[in-house]
Amino acid sequence: MDIRQRVIRAPEMEVIRLLIDPQKTDAERLATLQKVVSEGRASVVSDISIAADEAGRVNVKNGEWAWMPSELDQEMDRLYMVPTSFQERFIGTSLEGRTQVWTEPTKTWKISADWNAHYSPRGPETVIWPTSWLNTYDHETHKPTGKVIHGWLDWRDTFEQRVITSLLLENGEPKILAIMPPGDQIWPGDRKGRWLDVFIVEARPLGQLQATTTVEKKERLVSPRAWLYGIALSSQETLALLQARQPKEDAALLQTLLARVEEGAARMILCAGSIQAHGQRQDVLSARWHEYPTEMPSIPSAWESRAVGTHLEMDDHALSLTQAVAVPARSEWKLAGDVPEAIMWQPRFRDFQLQTLDRLSPGTRLLSVLQVPNIMRGDGLLKDETLLVFCQREGSAWPEAPAPQAGYEANLLVVEIPASEEAQWQPVADAQETKRFQTLMERVQSGQVPLVAQAMLHLPGRTVGKLAMTEDYPTATEFDPPEPESPTRMRPTALETLPVGSRWEVGLDDENISAVQDPHLRLTHTFSHSTARPVEPGLKETLAIAASSKEDYPGAKHLLETWGEEGLKIIPDRVHCLGLRQPPGMDRDVRHIAFIQIRKLIP
């Protein structure tokens, strides 16, 4: 049989309009998409095909190999950075897989396939990094020259898109395998607007197919898909929306928010997903692999890489999403008091993370809500917005799957109030708690008091989940001390990372809940919220520590507030006050008060 995979790049909202209607077939979607291509508004960026061998194996590559340095040797005397180790990087499209022909009593032919596709949307991108030799020596006399040598080192980032999953192909009809943004979507470039790459696969018989086996497990013939949508909306509008929301109307809510995106009143942050087979894990990645120095970063010898983009993993019971919300920011260190251009850089990655354990049933649901932390706003990239993530699962449920069970939504709010009101928030009875919470929410909506944090996570019973939006701040914890002949020069040699922003880990246990005997859930959670950006000690402070001979470098100070409970008994649908905190690092006399509510969802 002939196996073919194409990738069509099309405007984001045009693709989403095709996906959002679950009644549309792939044939209808692809006919519309092909029309967009013929009109010049979309393009085929990859097209590869191969005939599977007799065992159904598929293995093909179309592209080129690039040899790229991975480690450098620091030639101290000659001030060279000599590559000592290389790695191969494939630039192009590769496809590996295995197909199997099935037959049923109806004699309908179906082909299941394990799919492993990689696509590089473009070649490596050059990135410059500063290098500074603070103590140089004469190559012949081996004596210090007192000079600082500053320069720039060219390094390269690469791009990757991949889909690893299993799927079912029928009657030679093309099928949408996966949707993802281009690997360089997050980074500014020449391409304007937002786009999506649509992976399309098809298998066409080259003769009479011979079944390799009959279907024994019906789940092999179920090939549902899950699409994730991330939309950023103003925090005030999100709060009002959630208070009026009915979970069973999430599909209509998603349609409303997509209309807001097209009006310019909301922003798309992500759209990604793929076909998912029962008992298999799907892996969708679309990212720029950003390389950055780790060992002696001012004169790098070794490098790390991190994906900046979209990474989605799913199986029958779990979902994990990491989404870059902006290009990495940059931290800078001054290395020499007498040479201002001697500097060192490190990236600050800015990511959203969602992890939950849940058997995703067909339909559309709101999975999570998280407000952009105040300290991450600015740079013209992030503002007072809240990110809402929806999951749209189309296709039938797994055969013999258990009936849907009651799920839960864990909701957390943090509000800032004047310190003078602290006495008004002592523990009260549940009925009073609900009333004063509603009054406080009215003040938030009218703008009298600010909303500090807002989070919601969908969870089934007896499970854990994680929600986070953080900026990873590097901080220096070790330094080379200054040389006697250059007392105003020193450089970091070891770094640690501070995840700054909002992080929430939640665990629920409803095993013993009973409406009559014990209506309580058991809640274990930790919510951490940074109240100020870390401030790295400058060169002057670092030199002072070195001069004291203690060499105890504290690194940046991370100010945060935390609410945590273990085994907290909480009744679903009731508001529970988690208490007040005096936020550290604030220049005004305020308090932060947190509330949590576990909402029970009826299947």
Q: Is residue 56 part of a domain?
A: yes
Average pLDDT of the segment spanning 88-117? 81
The CA-atom distances, in angstroms, between 308 and each of 165, 312, 473 are 21, 13, 16
Name the percent of the chain lying above pLDDT 70. Answer: 91
Q: Name residue 455's beta-bridge partners.
A: 370, 412
Please list, residue by residue across 13-41, b when 16 or more beta carbons sit within 10 angstroms of its beta carbon and e when fewer do: bebbebbbeeeeebeebbeebeebeeeee
Is residue 209's pLDDT more than 80?
Answer: no
* Euclidean distance between CA atoms 351 and 327, whole angstroms: 9
**Domain total for the chain?**
1
Is residue 171's pLDDT more than 80?
Answer: no
pLDDT score for 516: 56
| CA-closest candidate to residue 580, choices 565, 562, 568, 597 | 562
- Tokens encoding 266: 């909301």
pLDDT score for 387: 98
pLDDT (tens digit, 9 = 90+) per residue, 454-494? 999 999 877 889 999 999 999 999 998 888 888 999 999 98
Confidence label for 587 from pLDDT (cuts 50, 70 and 90): confident
Q: Is 489 left (phi over 0), alpha (psi -120 to 50) or beta?
A: beta
* Euclidean distance between CA atoms 509 and 162, whole angstroms: 36
| CA-closest candidate to residue 270, choices 204, 176, 144, 367 | 367
pLDDT score for 219: 47
* Euclidean distance between CA atoms 480 and 494, whole angstroms: 10
Confidence label for 197 from pLDDT (cuts 50, 70 and 90): very high
DSSP code string of 111-137 = EEEEEEEEE-SS--EEEEEEEEESS-B
What is the torsional sign of CA 33, 37, 43, 48?
A: positive
Helices first, then strands: H and E counts in the chain: 6, 28
Listed range (16-25, 130-139, 148-157, 411-420) with the worst mean pLDDT: 130-139
**Contact predicate 343/332, CB 8 Å:** yes
Is residue 210's pLDDT more than 70?
Answer: no
Q: Is residue 358 part of a domain?
A: no
How distant is the alpha carbon of residue 225 from its chain centre? Answer: 20
Listed range (117-121, 132-136, 456-460, 524-528) with the worst mean pLDDT: 132-136
pLDDT score for 216: 47
Q: Is 107 left (phi over 0), alpha (psi -120 to 50) or beta?
A: left
* Euclidean distance between CA atoms 296 and 488, whole angstroms: 18
Is residue 405's pLDDT more than 80?
Answer: no
pLDDT (tens digit, 9 = 90+) per residue, 529-586? 999 999 999 999 999 998 887 778 889 999 999 999 998 888 889 999 999 999 998 8
Q: Is residue 158 part of a domain?
A: yes
Q: Is residue 44 part of a domain?
A: yes
Confidence label for 416 from pLDDT (cuts 50, 70 and 90): very high
pLDDT (tens digit, 9 = 90+) per residue, 17-56? 999 987 888 999 999 999 999 999 999 999 999 887 766 8
Is residue 165's pLDDT more than 70?
Answer: yes
* Euclidean distance between CA atoms 225 and 29, whole angstroms: 14
Q: Is residue 112 part of a domain?
A: yes
Calculate ∠ Cα 407-180-8, nearest 5°.
Answer: 140
pTM of the model: 0.93
Average pLDDT of the segment spanning 308-332? 94
Listed range (62-76, 208-222, 370-384, 410-424) with the worst mean pLDDT: 208-222
Which run of H or E residues covers position 430? helix 430-445
DSSP code string of 352-390 = EEEEEE----SEEEEEEEEEPPGGG-BTTTB-SEEEEEE
Q: Is residue 303 part of a domain?
A: no
Q: Is residue 128 part of a domain?
A: yes
**Contact predicate 303/321, CB 8 Å:** no
| Strand, coil or helix: 259 | helix
Confidence label for 78 from pLDDT (cuts 50, 70 and 90): low
| Strand, coil or helix: 425 | helix
Q: Torsion angle of alpha carbons 506, 512, 516, 519, nearest 10°?
A: -10
Q: Is residue 74 part of a domain?
A: yes
- Tokens encoding 202: 């098809």
Kind of pairing between the strands at 451-460 and 363-371: antiparallel
* Euclidean distance between CA atoms 341 and 298, whole angstroms: 12
* Euclidean distance between CA atoms 100 and 212, whole angstroms: 6
**Contact predicate 290/306, CB 8 Å:** yes
Domain hosting residue 168, numbered range: 1-141+154-209
- Tokens encoding 319: 């979902």
pLDDT score for 238: 95
